[in-house]
Structure 1
């Protein structure tokens, strides 16, 4: 979120008297270790007054720049904006970190009230004619300014941000764009809060017979959750991916599987007060209207203008190159699954059957059991593998910090250091699920690296791993282990940044490049060297070699299903946002069903993210951008192949080049230039198809 807003004119002229906030830790000087947020002292009711005070200060900062009588210069305009509203940025990053990870009722109330204020200020900044006039003057004179490459990039990105926000429009159009932005921001918050509420309400209570055959770690966690909810003797499963997918994979009870599947898949689509379908229709309509005001035929066309893909057609072409062979493979997989299910008298495989019977086929074909594998994937061991991989690649060490205040129970903090002992930054890890945490996994920043103000980075990783029973180690799936490495790849992108300006720091790159550093990092977790060292059970015994080899051999198993699920979500995102007008009486549920049928997605497979709970595109900044995971996977498959070709997956020269040309660069140059500087050329999809077992040379 851009923390660089201006107020409406009336508010700027007649600021109201602010209440005394001398005791508010958010507004005082932070004397915490390394200047981290003072989470141990912040109360929810202190956020909104702090925002109001910081917003007023930001108004003053931006007004001073806009009204500067001196001729525009890079220093008094572009660089000055980097320093404007800094307290607001600090408070916003502190708050929205909590709003995602521990969204209590009090925090949600603050979010509802603050988000429109922030959006209004962002609009007023980016649509301010005087401020844009100064930026535009510099942009037109850029060839004469003798800027460094990083300064030139910052000017380019700043000018583009203003233009894409609508600064070059006429006054009536600017006013309408501002109103749309504000409504969209409010709708996004509403979508996220309704989804979280529906997810909480969708928790499923099962009896002992219904969980028979489910691994002990799942049963224990569910029993503990049920007891905490006042249902001792039962088993409570939240409607989250981390709870649903393991259950669907392991539970022999078909009726129980259906209950869990429906609770998970129907989130946001239950026709109740938390239904999100009307929000979706309104958001899509507003996005279309805004795109046309800004000169694009669709929201997708507008979004992709400044991405690597450039056009919806190019993004869709890549998706379809992978989708078509994946669909063929998924249909082959369905035949295998149906044959196995028929042994249990099941004439038609349903969506809640797929994972269970796929697991039975996998056991038969590879002598591999996911429940048995998880016993060797302990969270603490995989964390050790994560830090060891980082050390081998970059010489970086991780040192846990117990003196840093955190925002919720279970959050851990590490300080990352260079080989010579210099501090790189701080890493907050919030891996365990809680009822107040939004679904999924993500990385965010509490402070961006920059040399302009001499600041070291602070990044946060979130997952939703089901907490283990008291005294038991947390076991995770292979997918959760990959996610652990994936999010830390994002974290390293933020931590290893070496740029001058905060706006260009770390992960502030195009959406279809930001996933490359995270996805390439996933490869190391399933390498034999990693598993032989760190895949150990609670007794410290290593994963049996036969199991390890079976795990490696089965890496492409069920990839048709998984790929179709992911890409159908990406294709529908692109098609939805490529609409040039919203059909009359648009119904998101019916539109989704029709598009899936046209795409040929088997009902037994379905989408990874149905529209009703597709947080990425309605509450996460990925609208017309979910394709980015596949776009980046082309790069990560090709990029990791370089390490394979070197004969050493920790090759120091390659690691140094990846760090220097990608991780340290932030957004100081075009991402295609960064990838080419690392790999020597742009990638092709063949490595991706080969990795997924879908073809390729």
Structure 2
């Protein structure tokens, strides 16, 4: 039940089976890291089976304890239980997302129902719940410190929200629903990855004419690796599609790339995700009713900062309305410029290309020229310098740590005095077996109870450069780099005593605040002046830097509508109380976009057929969280601007102490107010996007 992991240095008996399986027994590795150099796909299922059995036995021992329940023999005991399972699971799921080979996918399919079954058994166990409930009902008499009280409250809430307080019949049905949804999530993710791969686009030399050299070189190298030398491969990923759509003069080629990227999961093949979407929504509706909630959205948000779907929608619409007006102005500018090329019907695959032309005219900027000053290594150095300036942390690469795939790098994070905090795995480049998007996860969470240090992982999908070339990235990709490291810092710096309250284990609409506020520093002039350099080592010209910063709010109507349309449809979908038998996600999506007035040339950032966040990523009825957190991050960064120094040491120390270190040891609103002194409004968000 606990989410902790052993440090790998314990002395335990090793059986013959264990000695042949590097996941079992002690890990004699540097810092107790997973022995990825020894692990093969076939090792995982046996290790899971053993760890699940151990966790089941440990949980049953707590439930069947004949002693009166105490905080120590029940709540703390659950924090200590399942350590072996947490260790195996975090090791595997790090790889399952980043290197989804057929063998790893087979493991995921096999163990998903087993994990769901164990979770159901544990969270619906009446003897175990009775012990937790007894303690919860007399919590005021237990003499607990604030963190212990928070842990008891959160543990009780997890049981209740899992259905432990329901009737036996309802508990049985909830368990079946949870297991089916776990399987559907796996199916959705695996179909999407397969369709993404199937949507690879191979172009000719004529079709890539006019593209920047770094894009052409990377595409040529990718095609050659795929056995199609002389062609140019563009995978159906955001990191490949958006730069292409921004820079490619060939309109027909732009359409090919746009369609490949946009219709992932929505093609007439075995990878179409519509059946999984329909069934997942049906099951979420049924579970919400069983839990006594009006809708799935109501159920989810009752445990979030927003509290209600109405509160989340109020914020979304407060931003959506001015963004739509701005988007219409942007469309008019684009149409005027496209008309000069004889285009009278601007299409979605035209927007980024002509928006870039408008930006170039307005701000004297050329994306290809800007990227020459945005090398990946330079942006990584910028990120690490920011961390040092804000928090005094230093970063040191470790070459002795085994990794799960080529290109993964490992860094040790240290305090200013040289003491070690933990390890950071960086997996920044795309590979055919990596799921789309960018994310952070923990292999080990820091906690005082078990004396464990953190291991966090960042993933991104940056297009690898051609051999011998520098990896050049866009400012958007650099912001994503900072964003994910902000999550990483949240995981690394936690000082929670209990594993379940550590790091990023906070409400969905708060977890994005530490990551999004950290993004702001990538556009600080001093950071870019130091690290935005071309191949000759020359800094970005002052005029280019000034124009780049002035252009930050350019095209914000487009980007805001793309994001908010996804968030609004997520919320509307999960406020449904029933689905018609002939429900079709694509048709429903189109109807909603028409009703919202979303211009066809803009559309959604994440269409439902490939919306991993809500169908395979835990963000159902929660995609609004990025906007909710942006209200906080914009307001939070304003505090640094008001201080007159964006690296103000007192304010940085306060941000670390009141946000990054506290995890879920208190209500997130308290954490934000402890840092800022008050809650934010939407005003700072609108100013940040140039919409006010």
Which range, TM-score by smaller chain?
over 0.9
- Counterpart residue number, 1:568: 565
CA RMSD across the alignment: 1.0
Alignment equivalent of 1:289, drawn from 277, 286, 289: 286
1:21 deviation in Å? 3.3
Deviation at 1:582, TM superposition (A): 1.1
**Match 2:386 to one of 377, 386, 389:** 389
- In 2, Cα distance between equivalents of 1:655 and 1:29: 39
CA shift digits 1:13-55 (9 cap, x unpaired):
xxxxx99333211012011000000000001100000000001
Aligned with 1:312 (options 285, 309, 313): 309
SS for the counterpart of 1:623 is coil
Q: 1:450 and 2:447 equivalent? A: yes
Aligned partner of 1:274 in structure 2 is: 271
Superimposed CA distance per residue, residues 556-578 of structure 1 (whole angstroms, 9 cap, x where no aligned partner): 10000000000000000000001
1:213 matched to 2:215: no
The equivalent of 1:588 in structure 2 is 585
Q: Match of 1:555, SS?
A: helix
How many Å separate the matches in 2 of 1:514 and 1:430? 21
Task: Name 2:84's counterpart in structure 1.
Answer: 87
CA distance in 1 between partners of 2:286 and 2:444 (Å): 34
1:472 maps to 469
Establish whether residue 340 from structure 1 lines up as the match of residue 326 from structure 2: no
Shift of 1:539: 1.0
Is the contact between residue 425 and residue 495 of structure 1 (CA under 8 Å) also seen in structure 2? Answer: yes
Conserved 8 A contact 2:296-2:621: yes
**1:44, 1:106 within 8 Å by CA — same for their partners in 2?**
yes
SS at match of 1:341: helix
Instruction: Write the deviation string for residues 131-179 of structure 1: whole angstroms up to 9, x where unpaired.
Output: 0000000000101000000000000000000000000001110000000
Instruction: Indicate the residue corresponding to 2:61 in structure 1.
Output: 64
What is the rounded CA distance, in whole Å, between the counterparts of 2:147 and 2:108 in structure 1?
Answer: 35
Q: Is the 8 A contact 2:490 2:503 kept in 1?
A: yes
Which ranges of structure 2 fall in alignment gaps of 5 or more residues?
A: 5-14
* 1:37-76 map, 5 Å: 37-76=34-73
Q: Which residue of 1 aligns with 2:164?
A: 167
Which residue of 600, 603, 611 maps to 2:600? 603
Distance in structure 2 (CA, Å) of the matches to 1:256 and 1:593: 25
For residues 648-683 of structure 1, the C-alpha deviation after alignment (integer angstroms, 9 at most, x for no partner) is 000000000000001000000000000000000001
What pairs up with 1:541-690 in 2 under 5 angstroms? 541-690=538-687
SS state of the match for residue 208, structure 1? coil
CA distance in 2, matches of 1:210, 1:318: 43
TM-fit CA distance, 1:691: 1.1
Which of 424, 441, 444 is residue 427 of structure 1 equivalent to?
A: 424
Counterpart residue number, 1:141: 138
CA distance in 1, matches of 2:380, 2:343: 41
Cα deviation, 1:629-656, whole Å, max 9, x if unaligned, reads 0000000000000000000000000000
Does the aligned pair in 1 maintain the 2:561–2:604 contact within 8 Å? Answer: yes
Instruction: Tell me whether 1:239 sits opposite 2:236 in the alignment.
Output: yes
Distance 2:159 2:341 in 1: 61
Aligned residue number for residue 255 of structure 2: 258
Equivalent position SS for 2:20: coil
- Residues 358/59 of structure 1: CA separation in 2 closer, same or farther (3 Å cut): same
Q: Does the aligned pair in 2 maintain the 1:3–1:118 contact within 8 Å?
A: no
* Residue 12 (structure 2) aligns with: none
SS at match of 1:349: coil
Displacement of 1:584: 2.8
Taking the aligned partners of 1:458 and 1:228, their CA distance within structure 2 comes to 33
Contact 1:39 1:405 in 2 (8 A): yes
Aligned partner of 1:7 in structure 2 is none
Report 1:166-205 matches (<5 A).
166-205=163-202
Tell whether the 8 Å contact from 1:393 to 1:652 is kept in structure 2 after alignment.
Answer: yes
Asked if 1:532 is matched to 2:495, the reply is no
Q: Scaled by the length of structure 1, what TM-score is found? A: 0.97
Among candidates 469, 475, 482, match of residue 479 of structure 2: 482
| Aligned residue in 2 for 1:513 | 510
1:3–1:122 contact (8 Å) kept in structure 2: no
Q: For residues 97-139 of structure 1, what are the alpha-carbon distances to aligned partners after superposition, in whole Å with 9 as ceiling and x for unaligned?
A: 0000001000000000001100100010000000000000000
Q: Do the aligned partners of 1:326 and 1:559 also contact (CA within 8 Å) in 2?
A: yes
- Displacement after TM superposition at 1:230 (Å): 1.0
Is the CA contact 2:185–2:615 (under 8 Å) kept in the aligned structure 1?
yes
In structure 1, how many angstroms separate the alpha carbons of the residues matched to 2:66 and 2:186? Answer: 39
Does residue 327 (structure 1) correspond to residue 321 (structure 2)? The answer is no
Q: Deviations over 1:182-234 (max 9, x none)?
A: 00000000000000000000000100000000011111111011111111101
1:229 matched to 2:226? The reply is yes
Q: Deviations over 1:564-608 (max 9, x none)?
A: 000000000000001011123100000000000000000000000
The structural deviation recorded for 1:2 is 7.5
CA-CA distance at 1:65 after TM superposition? 0.1
Residue in 2 that maps onto 1:417: 414
Which deviations, in whole Å up to 9, do the C-alpha atoms of 1:357-414 show, x marking residues without a partner?
A: 0001111111101111111010101111111000001110000000000000000000
How many angstroms apart in 1 are the aligned matches of 2:200 and 2:19? 43
Residue 7 of structure 2 corresponds to none
**For 1:2 and 1:317, how far apart are their aligned partners in 2?**
36
Match of 1:15 in 2: none
CA distance in 2, matches of 1:21, 1:74: 34
